[in-house]
Amino acid sequence: MRTATKNGRKIIINPVTRVEGHGKVTIKLDEAGKVEQARMHIIEFRGFERFILGRFYWEVPVIVQRLCGICPVSHLLCAAKAMDVIVGADKLTPTGEKMRRLMHYGQTFQSHTLHFFHLSSPDLLFGFDADPLKRNIIGVAQEHPELAKMAILMRKYGQEVIKATAGKKIHGNGAIPGGINKNLSIEERDFLLKDIDQMIQWSVEGLNLYKKLYRDDIERMSAFGSFESNFVSIVDEDGRFDIYDGSLRAKDPDGKLIFDQIKPMDYLNYIREEVRPWSYMKFPFIKQLGMEKGWYRVGPLARVNNCDYMDAPMSEKERREFMELGGGRPVHSTLAYHWARLLEILYCAEKMKELLNDPDLQGTDLVVTGERRSEAVAYLEAPRGTLFHHYRINDRDQVEMANLIVSTTSNNEPMNQAVKSVALEYLEGAEITEDLLNHVEVAIRAYDPCLSCATHAVGRMPLIVRLEGPGGELMQEKVRG
Amino acid sequence: MSKPKIATTALTSCFGCHMSILDIDDLLLKLIELVDFDKSPIADIKDFTGPVDVGIIEGGISNDENLEVARDFRKHCKVLVSLGECAIQGNIPAMRNTVPLKECLEVAYLSGPTVENPSGRIPDDPDIPMLMNKVYPVHELVKVDYFIPGCPPPAETIWEILSSLLLGKEIDLSYTMLKKD
Ligand code: SF4
């Protein structure tokens, strides 16, 4: 069905079933029928920042991690880091810091594995256009059993690391204000050390698999859903890659610094969030660039682009190779996200091995305290990008103010841009084709939207595409269930 | 004989209970052999294709769409299971039941320290599902047959119950499987 209109048209895509309805995308066409704008609406709201008020500060890490069961450790750790500031623990004991790092590497390892192998590999192995009924993890298990087994065991390993450090695979409580509540026993250490070399090897295999897929089809892969953007992540004092601690760095599309080494307490001067009435998910932007131009990308691609080097030998070699894709500029391709993600899987595996061999993990000095403070901000690089937690605590130890910027929120505008880029290429006339649906799905998925923090799309995302006339009247609707 | 069918969904929750299903690890391959998935994010099937033997719901009910999904599950599933505390008693999301909804929205979209909201509008797209004033446990709004406690329930417990239900065995849970953290 095609309807001519005078004032442009809108196409609406629902990336999560209407019934589970948590998200929806609108593509607006201009009068000439060309793509003018893309909007991804997020339609779930939970209200953590309000109902956490009045709770005691030591309860916060275990409560806020229930924002997300896919990467709970990120919220546990980010809140714990903020509470370190509150209790005046400026420097944790070596055991405290290293246990937390191990926990975070385990978590990033499992989350990235889940995303790449369980959620994205079906598209890549069977092709973007394959039958959606086969294009899922069950299809992978049936047709590539060794790969499925490897994915399951890699995720399992990450979960075991979390269990050994946080106490439980999902929603543990290992990180507490000022430190941790357990060290790593010799038995736990040996149990984990036994398989670490295998994990490193599988990480390399996974990375090579994707590198080959990408290089074999490099033109299409690098052009797919592509656009240029700013990048935000944390880095260490000397620009080293770090996902647990550091200061904020932003680069522009050419790789020039917009700002660098911004300490947590200063974040308010650099990052703002725009509210748009059509989405529950806000739109973060770099303050000095303004709402229009200040949006940025976070996550694996941003981190690898932003850092100066990685302190893990195999990963550093891979990072250099990766950066060649950009030819001296940052890498902007949407599908390079997967490449960067697999590179981080390898980095985490290397770092876990280093830590497992570190006797500090068997230390018994677990918690420190100092002078009590009333306000704290903490950053953490969650698997999907920079996470900000900001709290004010009153003198009765209760939360008085909480502000959370969740990683996926920062990729809000980028996901819109990716959809726009795909629509520009795959939208033919005003017709919603299967091809368009497929490609929109793949583009959004590359950003690994942990919509559990906003939606529940762990599976592949169903689509509803709607074409709307200028007055919002329905012109065409196509549902893929 | 065709394989038993299973369906799963997540309502107002964190997806951790589904993650705990994935934590059965290699048994996942066994599960795939034992059952056919119907509507479930795990298999990426979005709508019921017919009647289902076991339906699993994670999460409480906080908006009209959650309710619709819960009713749809009840209609299609012979056995309905509430998996985890959010489904059983609302859990963390239900902490908002103590605060007027309006205040939750105001903090998120008007008064937060990083908020830039020139129009002063709280998101109000007509397609956004209607939020209920409260988050409800699933069984307050539809009939539920089994409850698996925990936040999330441990993978071993989930496997023991699922495999027993699917194979028609008696469910045998040890003390540690029922113990909460
Ligand atoms: S019960 Fe716990 S793990 Fe399950 S969805 Fe709720 S918060 Fe997440």
Write the pLDDT tens digit of every residue in A391-402. 999 999 999 999
Mean pLDDT of A424-450: 73
Query: Which pLDDT score, from 0 to 100, does residue A44 have?
Result: 61
Return the closest-CA partner of residue B73 out of B85, B56, B49, B92.
B56
| pTM for the whole structure | 0.89
Mean pLDDT of A181-192: 97
Fold of A92-226+344-367: Cytochrome-c3 Hydrogenase; chain B (1.10.645)
- Count of CA atoms in the C-beta half-sphere (13 A) of B91: 28
Query: Which pLDDT score, from 0 to 100, does residue B118 have?
Result: 84
Residue A203 has pLDDT above 70, yes or no: yes
Residue A25 near residue A32, CB atoms below 8 Å: no
Query: Which pLDDT score, from 0 to 100, does residue A8 have?
Result: 56
Residue A269 has pLDDT above 80, yes or no: yes
Residue A252 has pLDDT above 50, yes or no: yes
Query: Which pLDDT score, from 0 to 100, does residue A10 have?
Result: 62
Residue B97 near residue B135, CB atoms below 8 Å: yes
Q: Write the single-letter amino acid at A415.
A: M
Three-state DSSP class for A214? Answer: helix
Kindly report the average pLDDT of chain A as a whole number.
Answer: 84
CA dihedral B98, B103, B105, B111 (to 10 degrees): -140
Residue A243 has pLDDT above 50, yes or no: yes
Query: Which pLDDT score, from 0 to 100, does residue A466 have?
Result: 54
Query: Which pLDDT score, from 0 to 100, does residue A51 have?
Result: 86
Query: Which pLDDT score, from 0 to 100, does residue A12 have?
Result: 58
Q: Which atom of ligand 1 is nearest to the CA of B84?
A: 1
Mean pLDDT of A456-467: 41
Residue A208 has pLDDT above 60, yes or no: yes
Q: How far is B76 from chain A (nearest CA, A)?
A: 15
Write the pLDDT tens digit of every residue in A79-131. 999 999 999 999 999 999 999 999 999 999 999 998 887 777 777 777 777 76
Mean pLDDT of A145-163: 93
Contact: A268, B114; criterion CB under 8 Å: yes
**φ and ψ at residue A330, rounded to 5 degrees:** -60, 155
CATH number of B5-93+135-173: 3.40.50.700
Least confident of A101-115, A130-144, A340-354: A130-144
Q: How far is B62 from chain A (nearest CA, A)?
A: 9
**Closest CB from A43, A152, A271 relative to B128:** A43
Contact: B116, A291; criterion CB under 8 Å: yes
Q: Of residues A310 and A409, which shows the higher confidence score?
A: A310
Query: Which pLDDT score, from 0 to 100, does residue B14 have?
Result: 86
Q: How far apart are CA A20 and CA A464, in angstroms?
A: 12
- DSSP class per residue in A273-287: EE--TT-SS-EEEEG
Mean pLDDT of A405-427: 81
Mean pLDDT of A335-351: 96
The band of A453, judged by pLDDT with boundaries at 50, 70 and 90, is very low
Q: Who's near A65: CB < 8 A, 6+ residues apart?
A: A72, A73, A74, A75, A76, A79, A171
The three-state (H, E, C) secondary structure of A34-60, written as one string: CEEEEEEEECCCCCHHHHCCCCEHHHH
B50 CB burial (10 A radius; 0-12, 13-18, 19+): exposed
Residue nearest to atom 6 of ligand 1 (CA): B86
Nearest CA in chain B to A269: B114
Query: Which pLDDT score, from 0 to 100, does residue A1 have?
Result: 22
Residue A414 near residue A299, CB atoms below 8 Å: no
Query: Which pLDDT score, from 0 to 100, does residue A220 have?
Result: 87
Residue A474 has pLDDT above 60, yes or no: no
Residue A462 has pLDDT above 80, yes or no: no
Mean pLDDT of A438-453: 67
Q: How far apart are CA A82 and CA A382, in angstroms?
A: 15
Mean pLDDT of A18-38: 62
ipTM field: 0.90
The DSSP letter of residue B60 is B
Low-confidence ranges of chain B (pLDDT < 50): none
> From the candidates B127, B132, B134, which should be mutated to test the interface with A, based on the most A CB atoms within 10 A?
B127
Contact: B26, A149; criterion CB under 8 Å: yes
What is the domain partition of chain A in residue ranges?
A: 2-46+416-480, 92-226+344-367
List, chain by chain if needed, residues with CB within 6 Å of any ligand 1 atom.
A 66, 69, 170-171; B 13-14, 16-17, 58-59, 84-86, 91-92, 151-152
Q: How far apart are CA B78 and CA B53, in angstroms?
A: 5
% of chain A at pLDDT higher than 90: 57
Residue A11 has pLDDT above 70, yes or no: no
Mean pLDDT of A335-362: 96
